[in-house]
Amino acid sequence: MSELNVVIQPEQSLDITTSESLRIKITDTLQRNVDSILIDCQHVTFMDSSGLSAMVMALKHAKEANVRLALCAVGEQAGMLFSLTGMDQIFEIFEDRAAFEKTIAQLA
Amino acid sequence: MTATTVLEGLPSFVGNTRSQLKKRTLLFRYLAIINLSLGGWYLIWRTTHSINWAAWWISLPLLGAEIYGYIGAVIFIIGLWRPLVRQVKSLAQNVPNMPRSQWPTVDVFIACYNEPAEMVEKTARAALSLDYPAEKLRVYVLDDGNAPEMREMAEHLCLEDLQIPEMQSLAQRLKAEHRKSVAQKAKLEDALAVLQSKEEQEDCSDQIELQQIATLLNPQQYTLSEQVVEAIKAIKISIHQQGMALSDLARCRYIARPKPKGRPHHAKAGNINHAIFSGKTTGEFILTLDADHIPKTQFLQRVLPYFFKYNLHQGRYEANTTAFVQTPQSFYNLPADDPFCHRAALFYGPIQQGKDGLNSAFYTGTNALLRREALVTTGLQNFSQSLAQDSDRLSEFELIGGLSSCSITEDMNTAMRLHAAGWQSVYHDEILAVGLAPDDLSSTLKQRLRWAQGTLQVLQTENPLTKSGLSFWQRLQYFQTMYSYFAGFPTLVFLLCPLVYFFAGVIPVEAFGIDFVIHFLPVYLINRITLMVVVWGISAREIWRSEQYGVALFPLFIQSVLSVFFKQPLSFQVTPKQRQSGIYLKLVWPQLTLFCLLIVGVLWAGLQLTLGNISTPSTYWVNVAWSVYNISLLWSIIRASFWSPAN
């Protein structure tokens, strides 16, 4: 992927103890003048509401910086949490990186 | 008084919490049924036999007022149908024992705005002294007023707290673990060097033996040196975490959120939500305290067991679906006769217990422990709904994504949303924190107005009768509180009726004679007896005070209904925690006016009676009795307007 489209891949568990570092990583990335950020969740084994709220905060910062934020490869447990909270309507969620890259190509 | 559930030694029941129907509930239910039936019979008679059609302009409103009262009584009694008394075993005494390593982390949020730093300091000190492992407790002063003295106080307290023996030994422990880990890492690195040099020597027989041992230890990894490399990686992570923990020991922290001009701040809800989403707080449970509410040391021990259930088949404790546990508010500065009716023994007693029995205990903003997961998940659910309607709200996510910000009584609305999302609530009737009650009329009225307006705001924006997710009983409970705030109108009618008789000779009822007495008296008596059973254990003086204020606040109730439903902007008026001295007769002019008119009316009509101008004296005496009752109700708030601590 080009410099302008960054992928962040959080590991293991996105809960109250680890979500803050994800949010910091994203806000740091936003400082670097990127076009889009993709959060690849293929290694995320567990997400709770704190992890989800960190993502919403990240989305807020991204919107303010005019950067596109999307997710891909969301696991089953996380997927359930997204639909329970209605957040699946708020985020762009893709099957995998390829699906996201296709949309980049279409927009280009 | 509120029943305490702290017992000598362990309570003798299986499990860690128990709930039972309050004593005398069955008696109450019998009386309630009789009460409601008699009330219904009385109303039917009233409607069919006693309306004075000639004076419909007063008799119909009076009938309407009585019907309002009857419906209110029905809902109120249903609300008390199943009052629960709960008992709990302190967390450290839970059976089977919950290992301390499994105890959850707790954040104490002390929300303040313009209170003096000394007041908040007392609360924060008490919070730091809670009986709980030091490394699992954090206290956050959420200063919405951004006062330098508050920050200074918090920092000072933080440093002081780090010096206490428990924190010192915690620090020693962490340092020792850190040293051990560093030493272990050094040993592993030495071993790695030895292994790698051995591998380079290509001594085959040694190699094979080492390889076999390595495979025994961990079938998935090949060589011993690779396993050592993994172990070093793991210990590096431990060392990093231990380093973080050591630098992160501070327990008392200060958070003053940025409040940019021109953007809504969402008052207390915004303050607490900011703390939740800022990334600075991580406790699994949140104890919300008002600035003046000082918790007792056993607070967490008494309340945490409600959040876990023991899975017998798996042999461990698990989280249950309880979202919050509410404990009573109690005040340490109440004068003996409670002139401002703050004691609320009825609410933090039979009413909350009744709500609890129907899974609708109210969260009242302070002295409650909340499960963070429940709060945030429900907050996100509601947030995504509001975002679907207005995508701009994303920019204020951290102010509105947790506690509800739709009403100036954010606590009640939040509880309603939690209930609608399927979470359970618990009311634990044990005084675990004490606070300050406003001791002047102006502050008291401000507080009551906020409760009234906030509750009606919720009725307007999130009607519990139609909100999806609530059970029938929950709908009734929430609606009951809202319904009660319309009582200002019927109360006004009740107060005016005697006046109409005294000055215009008009009676709203066909006959105030024997017929009426036969119908009215039994209903009234059963009503009082039922009430006596409900409030058993609460002093008569307190009950009388509640009754007085239920009537004397009628202008406030009317004002709240009009201001909410005529869409006037409502501001969150923080209740002052310090006495605003003064004489507030101006605030009670409606009550004072009626008070005087009633006295004049009794005397004037008495004059008419002696002059022989009244044909049915019994009617006069009935109205006098009614007036005496009304006068004694109104006197409470008039007295409160010029009350001062010296009295």
Domain closes at, from B420, B438, B456: B438
A7-11, B333-337, B489-493, B628-632: segment of lowest average pLDDT: A7-11
Domain closes at, from B411, B438, B465: B438
B401 contacts A53? CB cut-off 8 A: yes
Task: Answer yes or no: is B13 within a domain.
Answer: no
pLDDT for B210 equals 73
User: If DSSP codes are grouped into helix, strand and coil, which group holds residue B290?
Assistant: strand
B377 contacts A49? CB cut-off 8 A: yes
Average pLDDT over residues B315-331: 95
pLDDT-derived band at B177, boundaries 50, 70, 90: very high
> Structural domain tally of chain B?
3
B212 and B101 in a single domain? The answer is no
A53 contacts B376? CB cut-off 8 A: yes
> Do B19 and B86 meet the contact criterion of CB atoms below 8 Å apart?
yes
- State the Cα–Cα distance between residues B135 and B173, nearest whole angstrom: 11
pLDDT for A1 equals 43
Q: Is B104 on the interface with A (CB under 8 A)?
A: no
Mean pLDDT of chain B: 89
pLDDT for B204 equals 67
Residue B546 predicted with pLDDT over 70: yes
B410 and B520 in a single domain? The answer is no
Shortest CA gap B470–chain A (Å): 17
Shortest CA gap A24–chain B (Å): 10
pLDDT for B125 equals 96
Average pLDDT over residues B605-618: 84
A60 contacts B394? CB cut-off 8 A: yes
pLDDT for B9 equals 60
B231 and B316 in a single domain? The answer is no
Residue B207 predicted with pLDDT over 90: no
Contacts of A20 in chain B (CB under 8 A): 279, 282
Contacts of A90 in chain B (CB under 8 A): 384, 387, 394
Task: Answer yes or no: is B1 within a domain.
Answer: no
B387 contacts A54? CB cut-off 8 A: no
Q: Domain limits at A77?
A: 5-107
Beta strands in B113-178 (DSSP E): 137-143
Residue B1 predicted with pLDDT over 50: no
More confident residue, B395 or A12: B395
Contacts of A54 in chain B (CB under 8 A): 279
- State the Cα–Cα distance between residues B327 and A7, nearest whole angstrom: 47
Task: Answer yes or no: is B177 within a domain.
Answer: no
Residue B31 predicted with pLDDT over 70: yes
A81-85, B104-108, B207-211, B584-588: segment of lowest average pLDDT: B207-211
Q: Which residues contact B94 (CB under 8 A, 6 or more apart)?
A: B16, B305
Q: Domain limits at B236?
A: 184-247
pLDDT for B468 equals 92
To the nearest 10°, the Cα dihedral for B494, B496, B500, B501?
Answer: 40
Kindly provide the ipTM of the predicted complex, given to two decimals: 0.92
B273 and B371 in a single domain? The answer is yes
Q: What is the CATH number of the domain that holds B329?
A: 3.90.550.10
B403 and B547 in a single domain? The answer is no
Return the bridge partners of B285, or none: B106, B371
Q: Search chain A and give the residue with CA nearest B374.
A: A49
Task: Answer yes or no: is B16 within a domain.
Answer: no
Of B284, B373, B397, the CB nearest to A60: B397
> Do A8 and A39 meet the contact criterion of CB atoms below 8 Å apart?
yes
B350 and B291 in a single domain? The answer is yes
Shortest CA gap A79–chain B (Å): 14
pLDDT for B512 equals 63
B99 and B32 in a single domain? The answer is no
Residue B163 predicted with pLDDT over 90: yes
Shortest CA gap A99–chain B (Å): 25
Nearest to residue B5, comparing CAs of B433, B430, B432? B430
Task: Answer yes or no: is B470 within a domain.
Answer: no
Q: Is B196 on the interface with A (CB under 8 A)?
A: no
pTM of the model: 0.90
pLDDT for A106 equals 82
A47-51, B46-50, B542-546: segment of lowest average pLDDT: B46-50
Q: Search chain A and give the residue with CA nearest B373.
A: A49
Contacts of B373 in chain A (CB under 8 A): 48-50
Q: Is B226 on the interface with A (CB under 8 A)?
A: no
- Tens digits of residue pLDDT in B430-474: 999 999 998 889 989 999 999 999 999 999 989 999 999 999 999
B150-164, B276-290, B295-309, B527-541: segment of lowest average pLDDT: B527-541
Q: What's the token pair of residue B186?
A: 């050094």
Task: Answer yes or no: is B444 within a domain.
Answer: no
pLDDT for B647 equals 54
pLDDT for B342 equals 92
Residue B573 predicted with pLDDT over 60: yes
B135 and B35 in a single domain? The answer is no
B268 and B400 in a single domain? The answer is yes
B128 and B55 in a single domain? The answer is no
> Structural domain tally of chain A?
1
Task: Answer yes or no: is B15 within a domain.
Answer: no
Q: Search chain B and give the residue with CA nearest A64.
A: B395
Contacts of B282 in chain A (CB under 8 A): 16-17, 20, 50
Q: Search chain B and give the residue with CA nearest A17.
A: B282
Shortest CA gap A1–chain B (Å): 28
Q: What is the CATH number of the domain that holds A79?
A: 3.30.750.24
pLDDT-derived band at B222, boundaries 50, 70, 90: low
Shortest CA gap B595–chain A (Å): 54
Task: Answer yes or no: is B174 within a domain.
Answer: no
